[in-house]
Structure 1
Amino acid sequence: MEGLKVLLVFVVLALASSFASASDPSPLQDFCVAMKETDGVFVNGKFCKDPEQVTEKDFFFSGLNVPRDTSGPVGSNVTAVNVAQIAGLNTLGISLARIDYAPHGGLTPPHTHPRATEILVVVEGTLYVGFVTSNLPNGDNRLITKVLNPGDVFVFPVGLVHFQLNVGKTNAVAFASLSSQNPGVITIANAVFGADPPINPNVLTKAFQVDKKLVDYLQKQFWTDNNN
């Protein structure tokens, strides 16, 4: 009987451990600097550079102090710092971004990060931020929002649709940390109406309960990306 209890405890702990792995897996080495070549050890989607060949450049990025152009259609610009910019982030399960917002409505449109939770800190300006929950038992999708000022911090849970809007009269700047070396981003409007090839309009007219002319109009728009 004692042996069975021990086995059950082991199984429960193993399951808890697997469920707790909600972000990138922890590395079993000091680092695995990503490289483009294909003659190395393949770890977490990247080949590892020989540790003897690693330099400080593999862990460095410069320029997050530089404001970015926010004159685009949505009035925001994201400077991403993930494994594509810092090869040394490979297997470390974290990334960073600077977001610049134009005054009076600069927007990071509703989007999701399929592989990461995001924590945002405002350093300049005033942002109205929020996320939408997944389906609750009653079928609702609850909207949770907050107005943030410099020094304020807000968390967007992994995979949930979220947004940020500059509600101030000046430029706004925020920094975001994400729990993945490559969190991914799905901008909702771009994905739904700007898919290539386009989603069948019959799908969208029924899903959104709108006239086909409106769907045709939206699919003809030039959907832009604020992640540069």
Structure 2
Amino acid sequence: MSAYRFLLSAFTLLLPLASSPASAYDPSPLQDFCVAINEPGNGGIFPNPVFVNGKFCKDPKLAAANDFSFSGLNIPRSTANRVGSNVTLLNADQIPGLNTMGISMARIDYAPNGGLNPPHTHPRATEILLVLEGTLAVGFVTSNPDNRLITKVLYPGDVFVFPIGLIHFQVNIGQASAVAVAGLSSQNPGAITIANAVFGSNPPINPDVLAKAFQLDKNIVYYLQKQFGGSVGQGPWDDMP
């Protein structure tokens, strides 16, 4: 086969991949920026408001440095809660200039001796984590059918990546407080904390479903639903004839 025919064949095979609608992420911006404002009547917008990703765009001529900045991420957050961690997320709500940019970040504080960012997923973002202080054990679980745990102990200066949509966690295994900074590949990555979603949903998931899914006694399911704020012993179809 000639070199020309080989290149033509390779291009023909790759073209459907390049144009496939199956790969969909945050949209690429069509302007330098779209500083977010919530209401079109606040002034400083185009005569015909542009509504992008749930926000209206401010007139770019009125954009200022404060639209692209945030102060105070160096301040430790309280970890006095049940899991011993605190996530400070910076997205387009905190930094309006992030709107349409497809990126966000977070500071995560961990209490000593077991402060936990519990198992959760980001449905719209890959996360890259940089440890600033402390010692973290981190990991994620691959999708079915393998469900393989990939885990590592991290020290200050170490970086770890959590792939988009996969369940992951971080826990402080040191005796001092820990701090990490995360970058996320979406302006609105979302977060689904597994235990809260399963046992604290509103309305609650029927306890029979959870008892069978987790192979638990139903009384334990009732207990867990109570712990996570769900209605105990009820489900969306319990009153159906």
TM-score computed with the length of structure 2 as normaliser: 0.84
In structure 1, what is the Cα distance between the partners aligned to 2:126 and 2:165?
A: 7
Q: Say what the alpha-carbon RMSD is for the aligned residues.
A: 2.1
In structure 1, what is the Cα distance between the partners aligned to 2:15 and 2:51?
A: 29
After superposition, where does 1:4-15 map in structure 2 within 5 Å? Answer: 9=11, 12-15=14-17
- Look up the match of 2:30: 28
Where 1:220 maps in the other structure, the secondary structure is helix
Asked if 1:124 corresponds to 2:133, the answer is yes
In structure 1, what is the Cα distance between the partners aligned to 2:66 and 2:160?
A: 31
Q: Radius of gyration: which is bigger?
A: 2
Where 1:31 maps in the other structure, the secondary structure is coil
- Look up the match of 1:226: none
Stretches of structure 1 lacking an aligned partner (at least 5 in a row): 224-228
Measured after TM superposition, the shift of residue 25 of structure 1 is: 1.9
Please, which moves more after superposition, 22-31 or 113-122? 22-31
Question: Quick check: 2:119–2:168 contact (8 Å CA) kept in 1?
Answer: yes
In structure 1, what is the Cα distance between the partners aligned to 2:61 and 2:31?
A: 14
After superposition, where does 1:1-228 map in structure 2 within 5 Å? Answer: 9=11, 12-18=14-20, 21=23, 23-38=25-40, 40-135=49-144, 139-222=145-228
The runs of at least 4 consecutive aligned structure 1 residues that moved more than 6 Å come to: 5-8
TM-score computed with the length of structure 1 as normaliser: 0.89
Query: What are the Cα deviations for residues 126-170 of structure 1, in whole angstroms up to 9, with x where unaligned?
Result: 0000000001xxx22000000000000000000000000000010
Measured after TM superposition, the shift of residue 60 of structure 1 is: 1.0
In structure 2, what is the Cα distance between the partners aligned to 1:46 and 1:222?
A: 32
Question: Quick check: 2:199–2:228 contact (8 Å CA) kept in 1?
Answer: no
Measured after TM superposition, the shift of residue 70 of structure 1 is: 0.7
Higher relative CO (Cα under 8 Å, sequence separation at least 6) belongs to 1
Where 1:190 maps in the other structure, the secondary structure is helix
Question: Quick check: 1:121–1:174 contact (8 Å CA) kept in 2?
Answer: yes
Query: What are the Cα deviations for residues 171-193 of structure 1, in whole angstroms up to 9, with x where unaligned?
Result: 00000000000100000000000
Q: Percent identity?
A: 71
Question: Quick check: 1:132–1:161 contact (8 Å CA) kept in 2?
Answer: yes
In structure 1, what is the Cα distance between the partners aligned to 2:141 and 2:33?
A: 35
Stretches of structure 2 lacking an aligned partner (at least 5 in a row): 41-47, 230-241
